[in-house]
Amino acid sequence: MYEKEWANQRSKFLSYTVENLSWHLHFHAAFEICLVLRGIIEITVDGAVYTLKKNESIIIFPRQLHSYKTIEPSDMRVITFIPELVPEFSLKYRKKIPVDNTVHGLMKYKDLFDGSNTFLQKGLLYSVLGELTEATEFKDAPTNEEAVLVNKTLRYIEKNYNDDCTLRSASEELSYGYTYLSRTFKRLMGMSFTEYLNRFRINRAVYLLSTENKIPVSDVAHLCGFDSLCSFNRNFKHITGTTPREMLAEMKESF
């Protein structure tokens, strides 16, 4: 959803509110500002875990690996924008990332990010990034080549997760050595290719079960790339802490 909506934006600026966000580890070429309006959400950025409550906020840099997990029912305002909107800042910090991604005092900006005035948005973005530079130190970012490789690998998984998707096939498709790709992916992602693939598949399965609950569980398993229902159920239980049928029963009770 994010990628499709982003591709249609002329200004390369998005501002929206999302409820109960949970999403697997990923990264993209945009900055991301997250303002928690309600509840508690856990955000992991490059391996550091931040548990954010109401009125707390975080800034995620381009190509920083991050994921979301709702701890208590939550609403979060998300602002995403490309580095070209803040060229002076991007030039100075193009090879840096924050030591601490959290920033205090950003809630005063939440109602101003509506995207209707590009010049106003740029001014606000510089103000927010200025708050970040006052709040934390910066360190060297991973090399661009490694980030690009992992990004290509994530795209490969997104495209092929429901087929015969393996580290071997990815290394051949991307023309990188099997061992180098394996080590680079695990070092930057904090997990193996196979573990990420299974998490991606299960996240997709949860989405299908929650929106298309008339599809049999066995069909969902097949659509998400699992060659057996046993393997699907085992991975689903391991990653979500529940079984597909238990999750469906909970969803049914909530309606």
Same domain assignment for residues 198 and 244? yes
Q: Give the tens place of pLDDT for each residue, 84-112.
A: 989 999 999 988 999 999 998 888 888 88
Domains of the chain: total: 2
Contacts (Cβ under 8 Å, ≥6 apart) of 14: 5, 6, 78, 79, 80, 81, 115
pLDDT digits (tens, 9 = 90+) for 33-64: 999 999 999 999 988 999 999 999 999 998 78
CA distances to 25, 90, 222 from 16, in Å: 20, 23, 33
**Co-location of 104 and 150 in the same domain:** no
Q: What is the number of other CB atoms lying within 10 angstroms of the CB of residue 100? A: 15
pLDDT of residue 7 exceeding 60, the answer is: no
Q: Are residues 32 and 106 in the same domain?
A: yes
Containing domain of residue 164, as a range? 144-254
Query: Strand 96-98 relative to strand 138-140: parallel, antiparallel, unpaired?
Result: antiparallel
Q: Are residue 128 and residue 202 in the same domain, yes or no?
A: no
Q: What tens digit of pLDDT does each residue of 10-21 get?
A: 447 888 889 888
Q: Are residues 131 and 28 in the same domain?
A: yes
Share of the chain residues as helix, strand and coil, in percent rounded to the nearest 5: 50, 25, 30
Q: Indicate if the alpha-carbon torsion angle 191, 79, 28, 63 is positive or negative.
A: negative
CATH of residue 156's domain is 1.10.10.60
Same domain as 121, residue 92: yes
Residues 136 and 202 grouped into a single domain: no
**Domain shared by 82 and 45, yes or no:** yes
Per residue in 60-80, pLDDT tens? 998 788 889 999 999 999 998
What was the pLDDT predicted at 46? 85
pLDDT at 2: 44
**CA–CA distance, 128 with 75 (Å, rounded to integer):** 20
Q: Are residues 41 and 125 in the same domain?
A: yes
Q: Of 95, 122, 140, which marks where a domain is finished?
A: 140
Q: Is 210 exposed, middle or buried (0-12, 13-18, 19+ CB in 10 A)?
A: exposed
Query: For position 60, which CATH number holds?
Result: 2.60.120.810
> How big is the CA angle at 189 (ends 165 and 1), to the nearest 5 degrees?
65
> Same structural domain for residues 167 and 235?
yes
- Together in a domain, 154 and 218: yes
Domain boundary among 105, 140, 175: 140
pLDDT 10s digits, 176-210? 999 999 999 998 888 899 999 999 999 889 888 88
Residues 71 and 41 sit within 8 Å (Cβ to Cβ): yes
Residues 67 and 173 in one domain: no
The domain boundary residue, chosen from 140, 171, 199: 140
